[in-house]
């Protein structure tokens, strides 16, 4: 994303600079809107138990299961994870713990 594109979605953009009618003239900027602080419950990835089956990845309603270029799960994106717990529920190996936020 260019600096100009970043500007149009920043919290400092003025009414004269903002996109007309609220259109988004480019894709993939949802990551700029951080939703992690909505969370009251938190998944904890237990790397030693994880078998890399990746069942957690497709069930995440956000895109908060982080997967590297080799296709391996590497952790959880806490800037966007809302703590729904679906990943913990679906894991056949109990490799994702689900705990109260802040504990």
Partner 1 sequence: MAIRERMSGNEAMAVAMKQINPDVVAAFPITPSTEVPQYFSTFVADGVVDTEFVAVESEHSALSACVGAQAAGGRAMTATSANGLALMWEILYIAACSRLPIVMACVNRTLSGPLNIHNDHSDSMGARDSGWIQLYSENNQEAYDNMLMANRIGEHPDVMLPVMVCQDGFITSHAIENLELLEDDKVKAFVGEYNPKEYLLNKENPISVGPLDLQAHCFEHKRQQAQAMMNAKKVILEVSAEFAKLTGRSYGLFEEYMTEDADVCMVVLNSTAGTAKYVVDQYRAAGKKVGLIKPRVFRPFPVDELTAALSKFKAIAVMDKADSFNAAGGPLFTEITSAMFGKGVVAPKVINYIYGLGGRDVRSGDLEIVFNKLLEIASTGKVDSVYNYLGVRE
In the complex, the residues that contact partner 1 under the rule CB under 8 A are 9, 11, 13-16, 18, 20-27
- Pick the closer one to partner 1 by CB: 34 or 89: 34
Q: Are 88 and 43 in contact (CB under 8 A)?
A: yes
What three-state secondary structure class fits 61? coil
Cβ count within 10 A of residue 69: 5
- Pick the closer one to partner 1 by CB: 9 or 67: 9
- Please state the closest distance from residue 13 (CB atom) to partner 1, in A: 7
In the block, residue with structure tokens 């009414």: 15
- Please state the closest distance from residue 83 (CB atom) to partner 1, in A: 20
Q: Are 88 and 45 in contact (CB under 8 A)?
A: no
- Please state the closest distance from residue 94 (CB atom) to partner 1, in A: 35
- Pick the closer one to partner 1 by CB: 15 or 70: 15
- Pick the closer one to partner 1 by CB: 14 or 68: 14
- Please state the closest distance from residue 69 (CB atom) to partner 1, in A: 25
Q: Are 45 and 96 in contact (CB under 8 A)?
A: yes
Q: Are 65 and 87 in contact (CB under 8 A)?
A: yes
């Amino acid at each position: 994303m260019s600096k100009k594109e970043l500007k149009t979605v920043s919290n400092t953009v003025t009414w004269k600079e903002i996109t007309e009618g609220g259109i988004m003239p480019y894709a993939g900027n949802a990551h700029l809107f951080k939703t992690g602080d909505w969370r009251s419950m938190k998944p904890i990835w237990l790397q030693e138990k994880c078998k890399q089956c990746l069942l957690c990845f497709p069930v995440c309603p956000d895109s908060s299961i982080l997967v590297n270029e080799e296709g391996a799960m590497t952790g959880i994106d806490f800037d966007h994870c809302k703590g729904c717990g679906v990943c913990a529920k679906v894991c056949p190996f109990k490799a994702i713990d689900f705990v109260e936020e802040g504990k």
